[in-house]
Amino acid sequence: MKGYRKYFLNKLAWFFVTLVFAFLLNFILPRLMPGDPVAAIAARLAQGMSNATGVQAIYEQYTELFGTNKPIIEQFFIYIQNVVRGDFGFSFSQYPRKVADVIAASIGWTLALQFPAIIVGWVIGNSLGALAAYLRGGFDKALLPVSIFISNLPPFGMAVILLVIFGVQLQWFPTSGGYGFDLIPSVSRTFLWSVITHYQLPFWSIVLIAIGGQAIGMRSMAIYELNADYVKYSRFLGIKDRTIVWYVFRNAMLPQITGLALAIGTMVGGALVAEIIFSYPGLGTTLLNGILGQDYPLISAVTLIITLMALIANFLIEILYGFLDPRIGAAQAD
Amino acid sequence: MQHTLRQIFRSGKFVVGFSIFAAILLIVTIYPLLVRESPLTIIGQGTFFPPGIYVSVYDSLTSPRYTLQLDDAAAKRLASRLSDDDRLAMKEWLVGAGLLESEIDTTDTARLLGLWEATYDPAKRIPGLTNAKRNYYVRLDASLDGLLATEGLSLATKDPQTGALIETGQVAQTDYANVSQVANLRVLALGTDNFGRDVLTELVTATGVSLQIGIVAGLVATLIGLTLGLLAGYVGGLVDDVITFVTNLFIVIPSFVLLILISFSIGQEQRGAFTIAVVIGLTGWVWTARAVRAQVISLRNRDHVNLSKLSGHSIFRIIVADILPYIASYVVMALILQISSAILAEAGLSILGLGPRTTDVPTLGQMMNWAFIYQAYILGKWWAYLPALAAIALVSFSMNLMNTGLDQVFNPALRE
């Protein structure tokens, strides 16, 4: 157990390091813009907003919020303080709404959409990949090119294809939004049904993309494992094929879990774009609105939240990995 | 080298991928030599003209006329102006207006039209008729005028003084113009986009620009990754610690988020295609660095490297002569993947409205973005987005196929 504790503490420390780094990047990058960031923000804002008092209020609030007149180190701590309190200031494009409110309204949609989709895609993809490696022959020959092709479609491409086929041509599912535009969110049967039908297309577009990439990785891992000495030895011993396949699957799965931890950021990025295609009311669409509205505080907050989500997911997967891989306990105990 | 190349080209996957890629490259190079029009010229007044051959109506009236007696001409003319759906809709209205269903035969055009003209009244209220449908009937009724006429049309010009119309000619229903004699015709194989630009020309240019972005970004990413990986792996010690730390940081921070933040910070005016490419490259090097480092570490203590060290060769020479050749195949494969993922990254950025600025050149991602903004997906204007999507998928697919082929050549465990 001592070995595990060391592993967890190590991962936890790393999580905090990356967290600080994420804050730093989010803090520094916009300050690389030439000139006073608050003035730049206000200038951009003035193009899109007619409410003069609103502009003035935002300018003053941001000078205070960013503390641009103070030294940069102090600014950073002010920024951290605000972020920890969940205070991202006002949204430019949706003034007088607060950025925190805008995000609170959309983050649930994204969480409910992306994580189930990525996990389902991961499970199906890995099963298919392992099956292809084990069966070889026709199944493998068909699966590999299809997987390569699917995983090379840009995420929004898959979304567009599903949208056009199932939404526009067949009209099986609605094409945009998170629920019917004529409904008010409530716990009624109509509303839930509407949410479920709106969920399908974005969900499957993310799942399909994940399947493609995972199947390819799992296939090569499993082929590698199938040629390993322990498999040959088990065969000599006369162990049942099914048992051997289970060993192979388990061993090949471990690197796939690490792969998931490392790829989660990319997947979330792709899924955000898929959300946009379906105008799903999650963070992706919020981000798009922020960009269209030149709404810097909103963009900054959304990117920070996305980074945090990816970091937390990464951390959780690595903790899970620690439990699954027997080598970790052994290696750290030395 | 020759042997390796021969081996590579024996891999079926690589050859297929390479052929697709070469074909795309060929089209991208040759097409602009044939069509010299700027890809962003707006030629269509209006949005989303469907693909086809556009013939000037004015010029076809003045071009030489030929009389052809074709039996099916009248039937075809009728079918193109009054489709089966229209006939059913007419029947529906007539039934709604109180006529007996058995009396109406949608295949007998003359009778149907007669009934229609006798009964149709736009002011009449039919139960269950939506406003859109009502407008549709008004349009349909207008288009039926002269449907069964057998006379030709008169051509007339306006007298500049009096404004009176003077007949200058007749067009009979049996008059034909030879397409090759019509002065102006334009082939729009993929129609026009939302701005009225020729989609095919735009697509070819966009594919070229996207490839350039991919190549620049891929080279930048691979160069950075290779340099850092070599340094970390070969020099080791503190250098390795620092580089590994930075690499691990950037692996968990989603590069997409970095891309968004940087592109937004640069601002719309400064975002050229080249800048975007460099930014994509700057955020995409981590995987290469990590893998190169791992490979270099396993090479570092090989006998030939130690021998080189003993001979007093410089670090630079050892890296170039004793280490690079061993990881060259990997680096090429990584470069290919970097190029394809950079093209996808550009497309993703453009969908968000953070792609290269729109005034200089089109990119595949921007074409998707325009199609998205103007709702081509919902409106069923497939030519505005499907070709661009197919181009992205084909480029990326061909590169990954090449990569898989190379992988099978250089990684014996995966060989079939």
- Same domain for B112 and B210, yes or no, is no
With respect to residue B248, please indicate whether it lies within any of the assigned structural domains: yes
Which CATH number does the domain housing residue B389 bear?
1.10.3720.10
Query: Three-state DSSP class for A33?
Result: coil
Specify the DSSP class assigned to residue B187.
E
Say yes or no: B347 contacts chain A, CB-CB below 8 A. yes
Check B258 against A262: CB less than 8 A apart.
no
Check B352 against A161: CB less than 8 A apart.
no
Q: Examine the pLDDT at B303 and tell me if it is beyond 80.
A: yes
Name residues 193-252 of chain B within 8 A of A (Cβ). 248-249, 251-252
Beta strands of A116-202 (E only): which ranges? none
Supply A89's token pair.
């200031």
What tens digit of pLDDT does each residue of B214-230 get? Answer: 999 999 999 999 999 99
Beta strands of B139-295 (E only): which ranges? 153-158, 165-171, 175-177, 185-188
For residue B28, the enclosing domain spans: 2-43+194-410
Q: Examine the pLDDT at A42 and tell me if it is beyond 70.
A: no
- Same domain for B126 and B29, yes or no, is no
Residue A20 — very low, low, confident or very high, per pLDDT cuts 50/70/90? confident
- Same domain for B273 and B217, yes or no, is yes
Mean pLDDT in residue range B219-244? 91
CB–CB of A99/A91 below 8 Å?
yes
Q: What is the pLDDT of residue B413?
A: 59
Q: What are phi and psi of B44, to 5 degrees?
A: -100, 135
Q: Domain ends where: B128, B143, B158? A: B143
Kind plus residue range of the DSSP H or E element containing B67 = strand B65-67
Count: domains in chain B: 2
Say yes or no: B328 contacts chain A, CB-CB below 8 A. no
Name residues 369-388 of chain B within 8 A of A (Cβ). 372, 377-378, 380, 382, 385
Q: Which residue of A has its CA nearest to B385?
A: A160
- Same domain for B105 and B217, yes or no, is no
In this prediction, does ipTM exceed 0.95?
no
How far apart are the C-alpha atoms of B142 and B129, rounded to whole Å? Answer: 19
What tens digit of pLDDT does each residue of B53-101 get? Answer: 999 988 888 888 898 888 888 888 877 777 778 888 888 888 877 777 7
Among B24, B265, B372, which would you mutate to test the A interface (most chain A Cβ atoms within 10 Å of its Cβ)?
Answer: B265
- Same domain for B284 and B367, yes or no, is yes
How far apart are the C-alpha atoms of A43 and B222, rounded to whole Å? Answer: 38
Name residues 251-280 of chain A within 8 A of B (Cβ). 262, 265-266, 268-270, 272-273, 276-277
With respect to residue B51, please indicate whether it lies within any of the assigned structural domains: no
Cα B303 versus chain centre, distance: 52
Strand partners, B156: B167
Query: Residue B243: which residues within 8 A CB-CB, separation 6 or more?
Result: B228, B231, B232, B289, B293
What tens digit of pLDDT does each residue of A130-182 get? Answer: 888 877 777 888 887 788 778 777 778 888 888 888 888 888 888 777 777 66
Q: Domain ends where: B121, B143, B165? A: B143
- Same domain for B122 and B202, yes or no, is no
What tens digit of pLDDT does each residue of B254-279 get? Answer: 888 888 888 887 777 778 889 899 99
Q: Examine the pLDDT at A121 and tell me if it is beyond 80.
A: yes
Cα A176 versus chain centre, distance: 20
Candidates A151, A220, A288; nearest CB to B352: A288
- Same domain for B39 and B123, yes or no, is no
